Structure 1
Amino acid sequence: MPGQISIAITGMGRIGRTILRQIALQGKDSPFRVVHLNDIAPLETIAYLLRFDSVFGGFPGQIETEGDALILNGQRIAFTRSGDLDVDLSGVDLLMECTGKARTRDWAERGLHRGAGGVLISGPSPAVDVTVVMGANDAALGQARIVSNASCTTNALAPVLSALDQAWGIESAHMTTIHCYTGSQPMIDAPRDDLARSRAGALSMVPTTTSATSLMDEVLPHLAGRISGAAVRVPTASVSSIDLVVQARDLPAGDLRGPLKALAELAPVIGWTDWPNVSSDMRARPESVILALPETKRIGKSQLRLFGWYDNEWGFSARMLDMAQRMAERRP
């Protein structure tokens, strides 16, 4: 398809594979063309994990391997197993850096040194030009070539805080993310730097921290020092939530569900539901956050409690693709 954005992905973990699955589901009309995949795991292992996914189910298409290539719905995609990304990326518009290891500038710049036009990192990193969350600080993108897409929780929280602050003014807020377990937690008790996270992730609720707390000061600096946060990891495999209490300056009178719905409908990355949903209902939802309107509570004249769902893999991967499109639109 003429004018497609050429993409390479390094790191075929949960986010790398989910990005590839979403592109494949877009079919022939996709604005993206994946031209290269890189991971330290064998190609057959990556192909197997694409075919069979414990969260999203079987892949709705054809997956084959041939030599050093993945054949995805008939399209041949080159595959390499390079720990240092020793790969020629000349002509690639954007490298999706999904290894989770881009913490230094040298690592973050690898894609540029290999020839890619830009690098989009699937997580927080102190080594980037800028951290951008769609629906919160989109204008910060500018001409940055190494960009962090922040974290899944930051993508859920920041657009909501931005919308609330613009509408009603935020004095302070506290968020608790109720987050499914991730690969950073062991399946059985095993040593970790965070002692609570050393416990078996599928057996206990684990109080811990969230990177969203510090990232909020970066993404919404005018609210710096007014937002706090914490996390509880819970024994589910997918979909997380934010439980947010906001002290506002100018809450409207009456039932707040209608005004919240109106705010959500002005923000493409924010969804809403009127149903008494549970987490599994939100699997593969593409929004950054879905406000659960029945959970809305007003406390006195100025305090608001909100609850929002987010698929921390699918929704975050959707924002990676949105951000990739934004970055590619700057091409001369």
Structure 2
Amino acid sequence: MRIAINGFGRIGRTILRQVLTRPEHGDVEVAVINDIADADMLAYLFRYDSTFGPLDEEVIASDGVLRIGEHAIPVTHSDDLTRLDLARVDVVLECTGIARSSDVAHRGIRAGARSVLISGPSPAADVTVVLGANEAQIGAHRIVSNASCTTNALAPLLKVLDDSVGVENAHMTTIHCYTNSQPLVDAPRDDFARSRAGALSMVPTTSSATHLVDEVLPQLAGRITGAAVRVPVASVSAVDLVVRTRDDVAEDVFPQMLRERVGISPVLGWTDAPLVSGDLRARPESLVIAGPEIRLAGQRQARVFGWYDNEWGFSVRMLDVARLMARREAR
């Protein structure tokens, strides 16, 4: 599979780190990296990562190429993908965060690539896909959204619960690490609470997962509410889900049933250890359910808690979904 990475920020760099360091991604060839930032800066930020640690190999930018050990990847600096030749690219991984309009989302296609996968919610996408929830909806669509990191954590869990005990309604709170949308010191933002220093306070805010779940799991539309609390950690978030079930659930049955369902999921994990967020850094699952945190209240209310690395796990899903798209094109 030949990919192009457009936007070499947190997700773009994490995707490349996985391609170069994880053997399961040996089938991936990065044809080009495109980012408007200076090449030396891109090389520096890729080599020295505050979250995942420094890369063991030397990273050098020279003559339009990013050299990482024995790997040499062309680097371009265009603010418009249509100026590039992407005729041999299977999937553009659109990681700029600006592909909100049809014009921007389709630039990779107009440059010659077969498909585009957007690393976030986008109204310009033909379909929003979450692996483990609705990947069958990819079909022949060429502009696909990979939803959000929280939607990737929540939707597969809701599907497992709905398939097993039925979901009448639910409320999700994501306890989410701060992101680049928040300032380090108080500074104006569109949202008053998000204008406060992200590393100093817990910040209540919204989550895009609430409406994205309606798209991904339309059978549950209107029945799932959600909110977010941004917290002063740089990596790993959590989903705290309270669900009212259609069927009765019992304390001696429900956890084991859920564990078994999780065991056959391609994207969910399970832990019985008393972990904290830092223990889940660089985990590839969309959500790792914490068995000891399961709580039942009455016969039809359950609380399920799980961890997710909102950068690493989401980037794994980007590659997984891109692979599905590339295989479809090859048929």
TM beyond 0.5: yes
Indicate whether 1:60 and 2:56 are aligned: yes
Aligned to 1:35: 31
Q: 1:162 to 1:66 in 2, by over 3 A?
A: same
Indicate whether 1:143 and 2:146 are aligned: no
Aligned to 1:195: 192
TM-score (norm 1): 0.97
Q: Distance in 1 between matches of 2:58 and 2:288?
A: 32
Q: Distance in 2 between matches of 1:101 and 1:27?
A: 31
Q: Distance in 1 between matches of 2:152 and 2:248?
A: 24
Q: Distance in 2 between matches of 1:183 and 1:114?
A: 29
TM-score (norm 2): 0.97
Amino acid at match of 2:303: R
Aligned to 1:325: 323
Aligned to 2:3: 7
8 Å Cα contact 2:106/2:143 also seen in 1: yes
Corresponding residue SS for 2:22: helix
Q: Distance in 1 between matches of 2:305 and 2:187?
A: 32
**Count of residue pairs brought into register by the alignment:** 328
Per-residue CA deviations over 1:298-325 (Å, capped at 9, x if unaligned) read 0000000010000000000000000011
Indicate whether 1:224 and 2:221 are aligned: yes
The Cα shift of 1:90 comes to 1.3
8 Å Cα contact 2:18/2:25 also seen in 1: no
Indicate whether 1:116 and 2:113 are aligned: yes
The Cα shift of 1:75 comes to 2.1
Aligned to 1:127: 124
Q: Distance in 2 between matches of 1:325 and 1:62?
A: 28
**Identity over aligned pairs, percent:** 60
8 Å Cα contact 1:62/1:74 also seen in 2: no
Corresponding residue SS for 2:117: strand
- Of the candidates 45, 48, 63, which is equivalent to residue 49 of structure 1? 45
Amino acid at match of 1:206: V
1:158-307 alignment runs, 5 A limit: 158-255=155-252, 256-307=254-305
Q: Distance in 1 between matches of 2:93 and 2:134?
A: 20
Aligned to 2:65: 69
Corresponding residue SS for 1:329: helix
Q: Distance in 2 between matches of 1:145 and 1:138?
A: 14
Q: Distance in 2 between matches of 1:138 and 1:112?
A: 21
Per-residue CA deviations over 1:77-118 (Å, capped at 9, x if unaligned) read 111111122211111111100000000000000000001111
The Cα shift of 1:27 comes to 4.8
8 Å Cα contact 2:251/2:296 also seen in 1: no
Indicate whether 1:83 and 2:79 are aligned: yes
Q: Distance in 2 between matches of 1:267 and 1:251?
A: 23
Q: Distance in 2 between matches of 1:312 and 1:251?
A: 32
8 Å Cα contact 2:243/2:301 also seen in 1: yes
Q: Distance in 1 between matches of 2:24 and 2:293?
A: 40
Aligned to 1:107: 104
Structure 2 stretches of 5 or more lacking a match?
A: none
8 Å Cα contact 1:10/1:97 also seen in 2: yes
Q: Distance in 1 between matches of 2:286 and 2:53?
A: 21
| Runs of 4+ that moved beyond 3 A | none
8 Å Cα contact 1:69/1:79 also seen in 2: yes
The Cα shift of 1:294 comes to 0.4
Indicate whether 1:23 and 2:19 are aligned: yes
Q: Distance in 2 between matches of 1:152 and 1:221?
A: 19
